[in-house]
Homo-oligomer: A and B are copies of this chain.
């Protein structure tokens, strides 16, 4: 089973946030243009100050078009959040392909590198943290995003690197994901390039936490790492 397959970027169980599924090609483009506009707006004025008019204008569309696709203002931001999470997962896979992980801590490094890279290059990536918390209000029953990502990550770690496939593994990976997420967001809070002290400490903390259970000995290199 390939790493890319495990992360299975297509099977994103998307929420019901889209009002009308796009039929014609142009509407698919519209959808992504709207999200691009929202992402720009996030960087320009921050979450709260975004207006639907602002999104429409930046996307070269009218207000009505926004509401054709999304039921309300918040739904646009949720959709942006989902797309951002998706792109993060894609980037993690790309990192895997660029420098195949030889051990479980390389996986952690890839994920951190992907996160940092996107924070620096992807417009509106700041939205990664806000919705994690915000979601709880909206959809009570829905599982937490970080839990979903953590579960998939745990599968990779178990399948490819021999970490024991217990329920505990998922829990621990979720702890690691939560910690990493908060420390990385902190790293970018006042520094647009990310404060390296926090980024480095994030790598160390997550590594040490998982190593306290799974040590370095469990690592099962599958392929030699490629120097990049």
Q: Which residues of A contact B (CB under 8 A)?
A: 46-48, 74, 129-130, 133-134, 136-137, 140, 144, 146, 171, 174-175, 178-179, 181-183, 185-186, 189-190, 197-198, 201, 205, 208-209, 212
The 4 closest A-B pairs by CB, nearest first: A182-B182, A46-B137, A179-B179, A178-B182
Contacts of A181 in B (CB 8 A): 182
**B48, A189: Cβ atoms closer than 8 Å:** no
CB closest chain-B residue, reference A189:
B136
Q: Bound complex: CA of A129 vs CA of B186, how far in Å? A: 13
Contacts of A137 in B (CB 8 A): 46-48
**A201, B182: Cβ atoms closer than 8 Å:** no
**A205, B175: Cβ atoms closer than 8 Å:** yes
Which DSSP category, helix, strand, loop or mixed, fits chain A's interface? helix
Given contacts A129-B133, A130-B133, contact A175 B190 (CB under 8 A): no
Chain B nearest CB from A144 CB (Å) reads: 6
**A201, B175: Cβ atoms closer than 8 Å:** yes
**B171, A197: Cβ atoms closer than 8 Å:** yes
CB closest chain-B residue, reference A172:
B201
Chain B nearest CB from A44 CB (Å) reads: 11
Q: Bound complex: CA of A74 vs CA of B49, how far in Å? A: 11
Q: Bound complex: CA of A115 vs CA of B162, how far in Å? A: 37
Interface pairs (10), CB distance under 8 Å? A46-B137, A47-B134, A47-B137, A48-B74, A136-B189, A136-B190, A171-B201, A179-B182, A179-B205, A205-B209
CB closest chain-B residue, reference A135:
B189
Contacts of A201 in B (CB 8 A): 171, 175
Q: Bound complex: CA of A47 vs CA of B48, how far in Å? A: 11
CB closest chain-B residue, reference A212:
B208
Chain B nearest CB from A7 CB (Å) reads: 22
Q: Bound complex: CA of A186 vs CA of B181, how far in Å? A: 12
**B190, A183: Cβ atoms closer than 8 Å:** no
Q: Bound complex: CA of A144 vs CA of B146, how far in Å? A: 24
From B46, B130, B179, contact of A183 by CB (8 A): B179
Chain B nearest CB from A166 CB (Å) reads: 14
